[in-house]
């Protein structure tokens, strides 16, 4: 993304797992530039106006059809992808919208409530949730602590994002190579001889 934004001057605007590919030597490749645009936008200000992309990975400003900075939209999509890679599920029920109960908790920075709600939904395997089932008003007694923790987490996360991606892709390399070795091992095992 650094190369795409800072050197090529392009914003993708439709990042999602289906558009991320691994080459034979495990290099990450970004595909499908059909919705991409120049970083500076049509008017040269860096502001974009067209609501494009896949809804589940769109940033709130795109969903709400507001103007936006393309690189921030790409970063939001990368966050959703990373969340999905780590947890195996989306960070909200449908999309990054103020109508989504999980997204509301993200906006309010209610970290503990968010994870409790998210876990409950995933454990019950329920895709629909009634808003009144969960308390949507944060406990103000620990709100400052949560905001500070979120800020510190964000600093750490963005400071170490490259390291995190390297770890993830090294793990993928290992799993793929282990799978290949395992297949090779299974194929080269001598057949048991009946006695």
Where in the sequence numbering do the catalytic residues fall? 14
For residue 26, CA distances in Å to 14, 167, 184, 193 come to 22, 13, 20, 40
Angle at Cα 49 formed by Cα 46 and Cα 51, nearest 5°? 125
**Are 35 and 13 in contact, with CB atoms under 8 Å apart?**
yes
**Are 53 and 14 in contact, with CB atoms under 8 Å apart?**
yes
Q: Could you tell me if residue 41 is left (phi over 0), alpha (psi between -120 and 50 degrees) or otherwise beta?
A: left
């Amino acid at each position: 993304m650094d190369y795409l934004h800072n050197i090529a001057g392009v914003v993708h605007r439709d990042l999602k797992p289906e558009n991320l590919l691994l080459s034979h030597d495990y290099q990450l490749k970004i595909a499908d530039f059909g919705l991409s645009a120049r970083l500076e936008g049509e008017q040269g200000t860096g502001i974009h106006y067209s609501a494009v992309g896949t809804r589940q990975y769109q940033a709130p400003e795109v969903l709400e059809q507001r103007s936006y900075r393309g690189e921030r939209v790409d970063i939001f999509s990368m966050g959703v992808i990373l969340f999905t890679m780590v947890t195996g599920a989306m960070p909200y029920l449908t999309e990054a919208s103020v109508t989504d109960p999980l997204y509301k908790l993200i906006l309010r920075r209610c970290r503990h409530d968010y994870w409790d709600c998210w876990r409950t939904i995933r454990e019950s395997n329920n895709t629909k949730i009634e808003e009144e089932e969960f308390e949507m008003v944060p406990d103000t007694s620990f709100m400052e602590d949560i905001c500070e923790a979120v800020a510190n987490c964000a600093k750490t996360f963005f400071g170490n994002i490259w390291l995190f991606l390297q770890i993830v892709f090294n793990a993928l390399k290992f799993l793929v190579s282990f799978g290949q070795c395992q297949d090779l091992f299974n194929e080269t095992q001598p057949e048991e001889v009946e006695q």
